[in-house]
Amino acid sequence: MNRLSLTTRLSLMFMLSVTVVLTVAGVSFNHLSQRHFKMLDQQTLDEKLSSSQRILGEMRGIDEFSEIKPQLEALLGAHRDLTAIILNSDGKLFFSGPGPIDVPEQFRTRLDNTMWEWRDEEHIYRGVTAQAIVSGQDQPLTVILIFDVTQHMFFFETLQRWFWIGLVISALVSAGLGWMVARSGMRPIRQVTMVAASMCAKSLKERIPLAPVPKELQQMVSSFNAMLSRLDDAFVRLSNFSADIAHELRTPVSNLMTHTEVVLSRKRNIEDYEDNLYSNLDDLKRMSRMIDDMLFLAKSDNRLLKPENDQIDLQEEVGKLLEYYRLLADERSIELSVSGAGSVRGDVSMLRRAISNLLSNALRYTPEGQTIRVDIRQKNTSTLVTVQNPGKTIAPEHLEKLFDRFYRVDPARREGSPSNAGLGLSITRSIIEAHEGRIWCTSSNGTTGFHIELPSAGLKRA
């Protein structure tokens, strides 16, 4: 089912709004106009009835009617559509002027002085029925004043007919104007659509200018430009990531090929083949670790990491890791220390791997004879773990990028070492974020610290 375009919807809504407004205005005008004319008719009939009653009341007997008849005719002559009927006490016609009208019986006997309305084929009448007291007459006369309102009622019917015709024309015209206005107003959206349709990997740096965009659409365009910036950044990172993967895998693959070609270049003894296989095994292990790390990061990117929810004593776990690294530290006369205590809920193996990556990184860059300190602090709502080591100060522009994959501060060390592919800090950040925490780095005055903040054990979601 095809849905209507936004331009069509806006034009239809504009047409509907105009139609509703005109309908309400027309119906209100018609109602108020008819009410106004009805009030004028009521006023005219009341005035003529009062005058007729006064004239008839001045008679001293029914025999003097011929004397006051000219007054009645003059009174009625002021309105050519006004007719007066006078009935005697037994309901017989006593006077009718200027012409006879056959009034229904129900209106002849209606004496509440309220205006009634009556339609007779092509004519519409409004009238009032009342009594007039005559001196010397036991029974009052019945006075019926009838106003022929056919002309102005016909005017209202014609006006209504033309109103509905005009309403249809106005609706069609407003729909056309609404379509033109909506199409003109949608031009910035079409520009956004054209830019979005033309987007490709080589045009992610294009942006939609905000100057010609209406104020109502600037937020949308700004959001679209921000999305392009994020896509551009993600694409650049992905491209660099692919290049880094190829770069990191090139060395072990090249080593494998070189060693194999050298060994196969001539016949060798069994010891040479064993040495070659051991050398190849080291490169294969490095590639295996790199692939495992890549799979781990892929799971993190797709939010497939599901940490356990165990109670973890950080002091105990850090102590075990320090014992593991103490042999390596002793070879370079590096001291390892831990202070403070705290507990969190999470996955023991994941957090152990994250802290192990930080300790391994600290050992790699700490000068001989220095001390690596691990500080654990329990706060009200979180637990802070800091791994701090002396060494060369890292420039501020590198601090945020340290957690990017394959990123190294020193480009000269791009090849890394067989045990370091440049993914440790990225994996550490993924683990911490999977535990709803955060990690950041500070470096100043020859001291670098990595800080991990995790929710306290009582606040971690089950």
- pLDDT tens for 305-345 read 778 888 989 999 999 999 989 988 998 999 999 999 988 99
Residue 332 sits in the same domain as residue 235:
no
| Per-residue pLDDT, 462 | 44
Amino acid at residue number 247? H
306 backbone dihedrals φ, ψ, rounded to 5°: -120, 90
Residue 137 sits in the same domain as residue 260:
no
Report the range out of 183-192, 269-278, 384-393, 401-410 with the highest average pLDDT.
384-393
In this structure, is the dihedral angle defined by the CA atoms of residues 238, 244, 250 and 253, taken in order, positive or negative? Answer: negative
Residue 450 sits in the same domain as residue 360:
yes
In this structure, is the dihedral angle defined by the CA atoms of residues 254, 249, 423 and 226, taken in order, positive or negative? Answer: positive
**191 part of a folded domain:** no
Domain encompassing residue 119: 6-165
d(CA 17, CA 219): 27
Residue 412 sits in the same domain as residue 338:
yes
- pLDDT tens for 236-266 read 777 766 766 676 677 778 878 887 888 888 8
Task: Give the DSSP letter string of 404-448.
Answer: STT--S-GGGTT-BTTB-S-HHHHHHHHHHHTT-EEEEEEETTEE
Cβ proximity of 314 and 344 under 8 Å: yes
**4 three-class SS:** coil
Top pLDDT among 76 and 280 is at 280
Q: What is the pTM of this model?
A: 0.50
Task: Tally the domains of the chain.
Answer: 3
Cβ proximity of 243 and 214 under 8 Å: no
Residue 412 predicted with pLDDT over 80: no
d(CA 238, CA 448): 28
| Per-residue pLDDT, 415 | 45
Residue 89 sits in the same domain as residue 224:
no
Give the pair of three-digit tokens for residue 40.
């004028």
Residue 126 sits in the same domain as residue 148:
yes
| Per-residue pLDDT, 179 | 87
Residue 219 sits in the same domain as residue 288:
yes
Residue 279 sits in the same domain as residue 350:
no
Residue 268 sits in the same domain as residue 379:
no
Contacts of 95 (CB under 8 A, 6+ apart): 65, 69, 72, 84, 85, 86
**390 three-class SS:** strand
**176 part of a folded domain:** no
